Amino acid sequence: MSGIEPVQKQFGRAATAYVDSPNHAKGEDLDRIVALVTEHGGERVVDVGTGVGHTLRRVAPTFRTAVGVDATREMLDAGLGVLAGAGVTNALLVQADATALPIASGSADVVTSRLAAHHFDDAGGAFREIARILRRGGMFVLVDNYAPDDPDLQRFINEVETLRDPSHVRNHTVRGWSELLERAGLRTTVDSDALATKLTTENWLERSQTSPERATEVRRRLREAPPTAADAFQITPTTFVVHKLILIGRK
């Protein structure tokens, strides 16, 4: 199975759930993306891992042209409705892998990627592609979940995430995400690492259509989490928290 096939399988069957997902349709991080790209400006924005287009819906009006790229056709099909409902007419949706963007080098003023990179089979390769398509002086805004520095806590959250959704690859640490961008040739700044998403466990499992066996194991791990994990992820009988960063890369 190729690197993008688990993503296509997972999100192909769950696409419609992301149209109305409040964690994806809105949020402080999404508002911050809009502020950052509006301040930067330019002619063209590209959103990588666009999903159903929630980020593109918000940023496209600031630019003359906008492109959303995603590996999963069903997500893009749902995105057509999201964009049309918001009256966005200058955006093009393209199916492609993040490591092979069908976009000319140096043609994008801004690239965004929100809550997608932890699914990238080769995040480093994707970030190199993003650096390639950026103009000199261009800006990349990455928003994604991150894991604590402690190796045991990293293992805990990534194993739970993968049980819930087999297309999950890795929540890197803040430093890990930064290093991947730097290796791609981008100068990085952490805009924020203080954001968090509070998840209701059952809604989270339902959105990804997790199999009954895997869902049972996820619930068990959360219920029996060691004290350090229970504290780090604020685990309760019904909810837990994942931590999120906004990282800026400049070319």
* Domains of the chain and CATH, by start: 5-147+167-199+241-250 (3.40.50.150)
Going by pLDDT thresholds of 50, 70 and 90, the confidence category of residue 26 is: confident
Residue found by looking up tokens 């089979």 in the block = 121
pLDDT in tens, 73-85: 999 999 999 999 9
Residue 62 pLDDT > 60: yes
Is the CB of residue 19 less than 8 Å from the CB of residue 52? yes
Question: What's 71's DSSP letter?
Answer: S
d(CA 130, CA 185): 10
d(CA 100, CA 241): 33
pLDDT score of 159 = 98
Q: What tokens were used for 169?
A: 């690859």
Predicted model pTM:
0.91
CA nearest neighbour of 138 among 69, 40, 55:
40
pLDDT score of 22 = 62
What average pLDDT score do residues 36-60 get?
97
Phi, psi of 93 (to 5 degrees): -105, 130
Number of H helices, E strands in the chain: 11, 7
What average pLDDT score do residues 116-139 get?
97
d(CA 221, CA 103): 42
pLDDT score of 12 = 44
What are the residues whose beta carbons fall under 8 Å from the beta carbon of 116, sequence distance 6 or more?
Answer: 48, 49, 50, 51, 98, 144
User: 94-114: b or e for each residue (b if 16 or more CB lie within 10 Å)?
Assistant: eebbbbebebeeebbbbbbbb
Query: DSSP per residue over 19-50, as a string?
Result: HS-HHHH--HHHHHHHHHHHHH--SEEEEET-
- How far is it between the farthest Cα atoms of the chain? 51
Is the CB of residue 182 less than 8 Å from the CB of residue 176? no
Going by pLDDT thresholds of 50, 70 and 90, the confidence category of residue 24 is: confident
